[in-house]
Amino acid sequence: MSIETFRRFFRHPAGLLMGLIAFACRPDIPPHPYLDSEFLRQEVDAGRAFLIDSRSEEEFPQGHIPGAINIPHTKMKENISRVPKGMDIILYCGMGVRSQKALEILRADGYERLFNFGGMDRYEGRLAIPGDPE
């Protein structure tokens, strides 16, 4: 992660505290840099981040974060070629557990700039639903 990316992730003063609280509540999921919905949208819209929804193929069309592609965590290994190297990869799912599993698969394959946004409940914004007008 570049210094500039690190600074942007921690631009919110509560970022470190949120990570520590998340770690205390869920020690099985390592804390991640603070990502808010606005920052996520900016990074994806600018092409600086690749967004992966690691929920099932059945869940994705029910609503997903705009700009995300769906690669279920159970199919990450066979779809790893769809994930670009050399850019920030942000993953999310329903509660943060499946996205962490997908993140670990990517890390084992040599990906380094990986961030677990957590669960969809953290996203503040309109979800994309196939067939809905924007």
Q: What count of other Cβ atoms lies within 10 Å of the Cβ of residue 102? A: 30
Does residue 29 lie within any of the structural domains? yes
CATH no. for residue 10? 3.40.250.10
In this structure, which amino acid lies at residue 88? D
Q: Is 19 or 61 the better-scoring residue by pLDDT?
A: 61
Quote the domain boundaries for residue 10. 3-122
Q: What is the pLDDT of residues 75-117, one digit of tens each?
A: 999 999 999 998 999 999 999 999 999 999 999 999 999 999 9
132 occurs within a structural domain: no
Contacts of 60 (CB under 8 A, 6+ apart): 53, 70
Asked whether residue 130 is domain-assigned, the answer is: no
Average pLDDT of the residues of the chain? 81
Report yes or no on 45 lying in a domain.
yes
Rounded to whole angstroms, the Cα distance separating 97 from 29 reads 7
Considering the entire predicted model, what is its pTM? 0.75
Instruction: Tell me if 82 is assigned to some domain.
Output: yes
Is 99 inside a domain boundary?
Answer: yes
Number of domains in the chain: 1
Query: Distance (Å, rounded) from C-alpha 68 to C-alpha 57?
Result: 13
- For position 7, what pLDDT does the model report? 46
Residue 66 belongs to a domain: yes
State CA 15 to chain mean position distance: 16
The pLDDT, as a whole number, for residue 29 is 44
